[in-house]
Structure 1
Amino acid sequence: MGRIVISETITVDGVVQDPTGDDGFERGGWFNTIGAGDREAWALSEFEEAQSAAALLMGRRSYEYFMARGWGSRTGDWADRLRSLPKYVVSSTLEDLEWANSTVLRGEVVTEVSKLKEALDGDIVVYASGRLVPTLMEHGLVDELRLMVYPCIAGAGDRPLASAGKVRDLRLTGSRSVGDGLVLLTYEVAA
């Protein structure tokens, strides 16, 4: 059976919105506040996570974000790994997906993701899906949270974990520094 792992790049106050500042959010661009060394350490951590993943799960907007940033045609080990992974995209509007090994999940989200968990073994990693994450959390489908915490406070913006329905108990299973300024927190979500 697969495990749903939410992997978020997040500010100290829980904001995930517009990390690169490309979407015009007035408080966006916080990803760019870290130095080159931290960015390299972050990229290595993300690559390691991709290496251990069995599949990726994302919403339509996240899929389009990755495609707009060229992940479908980038070169390098990390891009090659993401291209080779099976990718499942929750969408009622997308038809033909350009990114290799991508499949649209149609129908009711909870049912489709539950079927996916049953069909796969290993970690099904969810990157930056601000609308999908609350739904998965609310319905008890998330097994683990991996939060890459950036050393800044946005003060406003989308906080998908804040709208995840009822209170969820978490158990810290790992914490480590990434570079000089980032922290990776890993939590198991209590059943």
Structure 2
Amino acid sequence: MRKLIESTFVSLDGIIDDTRPSTASRAEPQHWGQPYWDADHNGYAGKLLTSADAMLLGRVTYEGFAEAWSVRSGPDADMFNELPKYVASRTLTETTWKNSTLIKGDVAEEVARLKEQPGKNIMKWGTGELDRTLVEHGLVDEFHFWYFPVVVGAGKHLFEGAGFDTTHLKLADIDRFDSGIVVHIYVPK
């Protein structure tokens, strides 16, 4: 069975993104995270990406990634653009990014079906409303929380609005980078 791996950038004060509509654009990970993106960061991200042969994205992450990656070229961009992408959204009616498929019907059933297919891991970038369904149905196999050595002070917090009950996780591994990023890898207990 394939694993579903979620990867999320987190500041020390728990910020993962700006609020929508934006009240603190400084809270966007591309602003506070970029000073720490080095060879260690790129190597770890590349390892995650090459371990997967599909992506699962919520609407907000899908829209941001489609805007950023669809216009890029090079090995990483080519891989992002070529991978099959499954998009969970209650509001989108179509997808425009190459190899993207809108999940229709029950998201939990569709993700469970994807996990049962042969292949490599399925990567889910970002944390948001989709996590409620995934966690409630025990579909996330690993969480990779990238803690950056920065306090942002405003923005959307990790799992804000997800609305699920207390969920206990087990620390499976830790990766430390010279930049100060520490990746905590958690699995369901």
- Residues 32-72 of structure 1 deviation map (CA, whole Å, 9 limit, x = unaligned): 34575x31232332122111112100011211111222x01
Find the partner of 1:110 among 84, 108, 111. 108
Amino acid of the residue matched to residue 16 of structure 1? I
Q: 2:134 matched to 1:136?
A: yes
Distance across 1 between alignment mates of 2:62 and 2:44: 21
Establish whether residue 8 from structure 1 lines up as the match of residue 14 from structure 2: no
Residue 175 of structure 1: aligned partner? 174
Shift of 1:18: 2.8
Task: Rate the CA distance shift 1:120–1:129 in 2: closer, same or farther, 3 A.
Answer: farther
**Structure 1: distance between partners of 2:109 and 2:154:** 32
Q: Distance in 1 between matches of 2:164 and 2:34?
A: 35
Tell me how far 1:92 sits from its aligned partner.
Answer: 3.5
- The runs of 5 or more residues in structure 2 that have no matched partner are none
**Paired residue secondary structure (1:146):** strand
* Alpha-carbon distance change, 189 to 100 in structure 1, aligned in 2, over 3 angstroms: same
Residues 13-24 of structure 1 aligned to structure 2 (within 5 Å): 13-18=13-18, 23-24=22-23
Give CA-to-partner distance per residue, 1:80-131, whole Å, 9 cap, x none: 1111211100124434422222111011222222222222433111111411
1:45 is paired with a residue whose SS is helix
What is the CA–CA distance in structure 1 between the aligned matches of 2:114 and 2:46, rounded to whole Å? Answer: 23
What is aligned with 1:73? 71
Alignment of 1:15-164 (within 5 A): 15-18=15-18, 23-25=22-24, 28-29=27-28, 31-33=30-32, 36=35, 38-40=36-38, 41-69=40-68, 71-161=69-159, 163=162
How much has 1:31 moved relative to structure 2? Answer: 4.7
3-state secondary structure, aligned to 2:76 = helix
Query: In the aligned structure 2, how far is the partner of 1:134 from the partner of 1:157?
Result: 20
Decide whether aligned partners of structure 1 residues 161 and 93 sit closer, same or farther in structure 2, where only a CA change above 3 A counts. closer
Report the Cα distance in structure 1 between the residues aligned to 2:32 and 2:158, rounded to whole angstroms: 22
Structure 2 CA distance for partners of 1:166 and 1:29, relative to 1, 3 Å? closer
The answer to whether the Cα contact below 8 Å between 1:135 and 1:164 also exists between their aligned partners in 2 is: no
- Aligned residues, how many? 186
Distance of 2:167 and 2:12 partners within structure 1: 19
Distance in 2 (alpha carbons) for counterparts of 1:73 and 1:83:
9
1:165-186 Cα deviation digits (max 9, x unpaired): 2232322221111232111111
| Unaligned runs of at least 5 residues, structure 1 | none
Q: Is the 8 A contact 1:6 1:133 kept in 2?
A: no
Distance 1:5 1:27 in 2: 27
The two structures, once aligned, show a CA RMSD in angstroms of: 2.5
Q: What is the aligned-residue identity percentage?
A: 32
